[in-house]
Chains A and B, each alone.
Chain A
């Protein structure tokens, strides 16, 4: 069993669509499930994480992934205070088809928050090179896919770990990207909070299914001197979270379909669940929550 999954009584499922709102409270990054944020407010949200929208998927596990994405977008749009940014942690499409990217764009353009940051998943580069993805989302990175930016005192780093798979199926960043990251972080104050987002988990959740990133340790070594690091991933369509010192690792649920927990069954992939259970499996509440003003009852574990 992955850590933190299905274990905490507090991790009840309340949401109908995936997504997580992140805010800054006293300089500490905090996470709140989107559904709760929509109904109760979270102060000033910094950004929302969406993941694994898989536009184009239409099988039994969820015949209408556009509808569940729209429900997620409605939740974001109905937040009392709009976040500044949206981060999408990959698998925007299911098969990298141009028409899937077009449809994804149409859905995502409904977001009232217009600043969208993305990183590709392996489903966004089935064409081999990721050309279709980079043509549409590569401007911020000069066609590389990985890039960084600052917002509200936080340094955001979008990394790509789906271009160089290692034997066994683990993701990898590769030497060029690691060299770029070292350069990007050099001279930066260690007190600046970092938010790192990439598609595949940046710690090994289940190696047999490739749920990890072979050279993630090198990224973590480069960020070790920083006082607050949040690592946000997708790929596995379920919440798994761990905290190591001042680093919190978090994987998001999908807006499209659930996957089995690590090692349950012969292989990963779309998991068919009862129709009335699906919204709960796409639900978003399994994020542990740091104390927030007015939301003390939701407090469980600090995210950062």
Chain B
């Protein structure tokens, strides 16, 4: 489990470094992000969205999944194949969530 997450971090860092040339300020966070759920994974495992923006998850697996925050803030219920769930994040912070049916599926949303 460790290797993929480290890899994910490395990719994130590389992407961050490759982001707009010589830009000193952080690029504005998007106001809407989509996270596909595929092969028992949230992709990507970490997304960033602006405060007040929303994240939409769409289950592409034949197996149902849920989007369930570990602190109880949001809960999709069962998402069948091709079903979606959207949540609007108001406050900055890091929000961790899992699939409550397959808790090995972990991911997070960064709101800033």
Interface residues of A (CB under 8 A from B): 59-61, 94-96, 122-123, 126-128, 165-169, 209-210, 266-270
Q: How far is the CB of A55 from chain B (nearest CB, A)?
A: 13
Known: A95-B80, A96-B78, A267-B39. A122 touches B62 (CB 8 A): no
Choose, from B6-14, B23-31, B43-51, B98-106, the stretch at the interface. B98-106
Chain B interface: which size bin?
10 to 19
Contact with A along B42-85 (1 / 0, CB 8 A): 00000000000000000001111010100000010110110000
Q: Is the CB of A270 within 8 A of B100?
A: no
The interface residues of chain B lying within 8 Å CB-to-CB of A94 are 64, 80
| Among candidates B1, B62, B103, residue contacting A61 with C-beta atoms closer than 8 Å | B62
Q: A167-B104, A268-B40 are in contact. Are A127 and B64 (CB under 8 A)?
A: no
Would A126 and B64 be within 8 Å (CB), given that A94-B80, A167-B104 are in contact? yes
Residue of A whose beta carbon sits closest to that of B80: A95
Cβ-closest chain B residue relative to A95: B78
Also in contact, A126 and B101, with CB within 8 A (given A269-B62, A269-B63, A270-B63) = yes
Do B81 and A59 touch (CB < 8 A)? Answer: yes
- Give the complex CA separation of A211 and B77 in angstroms: 23
**How distant is the Cα of A268 from the Cα of B40 in the complex, in angstroms?**
8
Q: Are B64 and A169 in contact (CB under 8 A)?
A: no
Q: Pick the 7 closest A-B CB pairs, nearest first.
A: A126-B78, A269-B63, A270-B62, A169-B104, A267-B39, A266-B39, A267-B40
**When A and B form their complex, what is the total count of cross-chain residue pairs whose Cβ atoms lie within 8 Å?**
54
Q: Is the CB of A210 within 8 A of B104?
A: yes
A78 to B38, CA, bound (A): 42
B101 close to A122 (CB less than 8 A):
yes
B104 touches A168 (CB 8 A): yes
15 A-B residue pairings within 8 Å (CB atoms): A94-B64, A95-B64, A122-B101, A123-B64, A126-B77, A126-B78, A128-B68, A165-B102, A165-B103, A266-B39, A267-B40, A267-B61, A267-B63, A268-B63, A269-B61
User: Do B103 and A169 touch (CB < 8 A)?
Assistant: yes
- Chain B: CB-nearest residue to A96: B78
Bound complex: CA of A181 vs CA of B101, how far in Å?
25
Complex Cα–Cα for A60 and B102 (A): 22
A304 to B48, CA, bound (A): 55
Is A127 within 8 A of B77, CB to CB? Answer: yes
Cβ–Cβ < 8 Å partners of A96 in chain B: 78
